[in-house]
Amino acid sequence: MTRWSASVVALFLVSFPGQVNAQVNCETIPRGPARTDCYLGLSRFYQGQSDLAAAKALQQSDDAWYRAITGTDPPKPRPRRRR
């Protein structure tokens, strides 16, 4: 994925924070592989949230630079139409 399309996907996913609500307590799982998998899953989930927040911040920064240089808002991406 290009940087631009990854940013668009990230912004789309960040725009729906209420859709994802994970409240997992790995401490309730007995020690063993299942508990380890629980912690690994949580780690990946939080890494994904962090990546999305970073992409959103980068896009906002890029937009601010564009505004500062040109004095206008950046052009909005056109939706892709399938043929």
- C-beta contacts of 11-16 below 8 A and 24+ residues apart: 11/55, 11/56, 11/59, 13/52, 14/52, 14/53, 14/55, 14/56
* pLDDT tens per residue, range 9-47: 555 555 555 555 556 789 999 999 999 999 999 999 999
Task: Give residue 12's pLDDT.
Answer: 53
The model's pTM? 0.56
